[in-house]
């Protein structure tokens, strides 16, 4: 079974530039998450989608970050303009997440490492 796919794996940009990350979740997974992981810390949830609707984006810095999940499958996370403090690994995860079904498991991709200079 294919896992969660993310691209690019690495990206280096100057501050104030823009960047986009792409995620393809496991087939059939209704719920998709974007996490930000700063070096030395645990992952922090940015946004959660259920199908193509946003469930929670309370920790997403909306002045510079945006995310979409068109058609309830792939998702894109964009940062514009980037700041130095956005340097982190951006992790995408998916789960089965159907109503009434509790699987207890999130599946993570390998992440996209962003360096802002």
Partner 1 sequence: DAKTTQPNSMESNEEEPVHLPCNHSTISGTDYIHWYRQLPSQGPEYVIHGLTSNVNNRMASLAIAEDRKSSTLILHRATLRDAAVYYCILRDDRYSGAGSYQLTFGKGTKLSVIP
Residues lying near partner 1 in the complex (CB under 8 A) are found at 4, 30-31, 33, 35, 40-45, 48, 50, 55-56, 91, 93, 95, 97-102, 104-111
Q: Please, what is the minimum distance in Å from the beta carbon of residue 29 to partner 1? A: 10
* Partners of residue 68 on adjacent β-strands: 76
Say if residues 22 and 111 touch (Cβ distance below 8 Å). no
> C-beta of 16: minimal distance to partner 1 in Å?
28
- 65-71: long-range contacts at Cβ-Cβ below 8 A with a sequence spacing of 24 or more? 67/34, 69/32
Residues 6+ apart with CB under 8 A from 64: 79, 80, 81, 82, 83, 86
Q: Which is nearer to partner 1, 18 or 55 (CB)?
A: 55
Residue with smaller CB distance to partner 1, 35 or 65: 35
Closer residue to partner 1 (CB): 74 or 110: 110
């Amino acid at each position: 079974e294919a896992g969660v796919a993310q691209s690019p794996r690495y990206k280096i940009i100057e501050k104030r530039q823009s960047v986009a990350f792409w995620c393809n979740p496991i087939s059939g997974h209704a719920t998709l998450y974007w996490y930000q992981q700063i070096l030395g810390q645990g992952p922090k949830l940015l946004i959660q989608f259920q199908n193509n609707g946003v469930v929670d984006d309370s920790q997403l810095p909306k002045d510079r970050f945006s995310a979409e999940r068109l058609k309830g499958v792939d998702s894109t996370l964009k940062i514009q303009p980037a700041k130095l403090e956005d340097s982190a690994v951006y992790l995408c995860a998916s789960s089965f997440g159907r109503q009434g079904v509790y699987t207890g498991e999130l599946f993570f991709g390998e992440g996209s490492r962003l360096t802002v200079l």
